[in-house]
Structure formats: C-alpha cells, structure tokens
Amino acid sequence: MIELPPELESPPVNWTRRHLLDLESLSADEISTALDVAQRFKDATQDCKVKLPVLAGVTSVNLFFEDSTRTRTSFSLAARRLGADSVEFSASSSSVSKGETLLDTAKTIESMKIDAMVIRHRSPGAPQMLAKNLDCSVINAGDGPHEHPTQGLLDILTIRQHRGSIAGLTVALVGDIAHSRTARSNIWGLKKLGAHVIVCGPSTLVSKQWEKLGVEVSHDLDDIVARCDVLNLLRIQFERQYTRPFPSVREYALLYAMNRERMERAKENILIMAPGPINRGVEVTPDVADGSQSVILHQVNNGLAVRMAALYLVTKASR
C-alpha cells in the first residue's frame, strides 16, 4: 500500500457523472479526463501492481449475465487495487434462474448497501435501465452489441501512450463490426478526439450505414492497410450470428487476417491491437500477434488502469 498522490485526492471538477454507460454521451473533455485519471492510476500504482487506499469502504458488485474473463477479472482487481470490496454475482446460481427480473435482482443487491454495480448483459440498454432505477453508480461492462465503454477507453489509452495524441491518426477497426460493442465505443471515442476511423470487413458485417457515424467504410483490407496508423482486429462473434456471414473461416482469414505479408505493406510503426480473446490464424496470425508492433498485452494491463479510473470517478462523483 502506498500513499495517495495529491492529484487523486479528489475527482476532477469537470467530471460529475454518477454512471459510465457509454462513450456516445461523453464529451471529448470527459473522455480525456477519464484517460488522464487512468494514466495517473497506472503511474501511481507502479503499472497497476500496488494498492492505493482511495476507495476504502466502497463496495462494488460485478453483475455479469454473459461469460467474461478479462473484463470481469479486471474490474475485480481494479476494485481491490483501490482498497474497495469486490463481490461477484453468478446469474446461473441466482434467483434469475427462477424467473426473477433483472431490475428485481439489481434492487435486491443494492439493498445490501453497495456503492457501484458493474453490469454485463446481452440486452442493449440494460445498464441505462438500471441507472434510471437505482441509487448506486452503474458501469456498463458490455450491453449486447451496443457499447463497451471501458474497452473503448483502454484501447484509446493504449494508442495515446504509444502515439502521444489521437488527433490526426487513422485507425481501422477490422472484422465483425455489425456485432461489436467494442467497435461502437471506439468509434465514438476516437472520433471525438480527432481520429479518422475506418471500419473494414465483409459487406455482410460492415454496412454502408456506418458512414452515418462519420466513419469510412471499406471491404478491402489490402486497400487501406498502408494508410493506417492503428489496426484494431475484432473477433468474429459467431455466438451473436444467426447465419454465417462468409463462406468459411479460411476465406475470412485469407481476406482480412493481419499477416506477415500485410505487415510488409503497412507503416513501419503501425500498432496492432485486439480486444481479445484473439482467434489466432483468423483475425491475426501468431507471428503478428506476438510481434514487436503488437500492443495487445498493453491493452490488457491498461484495462486495469481504466477500470480503476471508472470506479473512482463514478463513486467519488456520487458522494
């Protein structure tokens, strides 16, 4: 345990939100503030390894209705790094399996005097619904294909650490854009901070409708790779698809996997990212995933810092 740095003794004056539900509703200033606080926590905890007593007495509950490894573990560790108590909720062993509603479950848990609820749910809008009906702070850990704000923040933080600024960069999100909450959060955050965003993938997964969000749409990775400063390679989410959006995994990999040949045509300092879990040989080949331009493990570590910042900002702002 180390002493709390003076700059973290109280939350930034320009952050007043009790919840973190999406990046769409945040201003560029609020996004930058969240990134700044995450970086301060990363530095103050010696790369997220030691504890700070900033949230002593706070209780956070992880309410996950979908499988998760990185996000759930990250939120749990983030709470403990800040001295908070973290409680895990299992939907399969709860009254939800007996027919209890999400709101009733959440209200029951809130009545145990918790301060923050981190929720992942298959239904878009579930965190927003809880935020309107609960007194505790709510953090969205992924609501169906809608948004995953802390994943968006950690991706952007990783880019900022390696490039210094987001403004003026060309960032491509490649893969299953249609079903990706990570893509949506990245688009909102990157656009607000001044990046040019390209969404790339098969036409069955990347509709021209995405242009309405102010992004460039491409169906040809080879056509855009030389222009990109960052490639974020998104997992094909077969569990959210009702029909196969392309003939075969082999064909997808041939057209859209980042491999050695495409790396040779890319910028020398390109960043290779993936929100995980990665499918080696599908979205990215092993040599690229483990190569010198890959920052995938940096993203995982930054997830701790961002989630510490999220818990700190929403619980401190609500007091």
Cβ burial of 276 (10 Å; 0-12, 13-18, 19+) is middle
227: its two tokens: 């222009």
130: its two tokens: 């809880």
d(Cα 210, Cα 111) in Å, to the nearest integer?
41
Length of the chain in terms of residues written: 319
pLDDT on residue 251: 87
Q: Is residue 150 marked as binding?
A: no
Torsion angles phi and psi, residue 316, rounded to 5: -70, -35
Question: Each residue of 20-40: b (16+ CB within 10 Å) or e?
Answer: bbbbbebeeebbbbbbebbbb
Q: Is residue 209 marked as binding?
A: no
Flag whether pLDDT at 97 surpasses 60. no
Identify the band that residue 68 occupies on the pLDDT scale cut at 50, 70 and 90.
confident
> Which amino acid is present at 16?
T
Q: Is residue 71 marked as binding?
A: yes
Q: Is residue 146 marked as binding?
A: no
DSSP one-letter code for 13: T
pLDDT on residue 56: 93
Q: Is residue 182 marked as binding?
A: no
80: its two tokens: 């403990």
Q: Is residue 49 marked as binding?
A: no
Domains of the chain: 6-148+301-316 (3.40.50.1370), 149-299 (3.40.50.1370)
Flag whether pLDDT at 269 surpasses 70. yes
Coil vs helix vs strand at 42: helix
Q: What angle do CA 247, 244, 199 make, to 5 degrees?
A: 85
pLDDT on residue 242: 47
Coil vs helix vs strand at 180: coil
d(Cα 309, Cα 55) in Å, to the nearest integer?
11
Coil vs helix vs strand at 88: strand
Q: Is residue 53 marked as binding?
A: no
Identify the band that residue 243 occupies on the pLDDT scale cut at 50, 70 and 90.
low
Q: Is residue 120 marked as binding?
A: yes
Q: Is the bond preceding residue 124 a cis peptide, omega within 30 degrees?
A: no
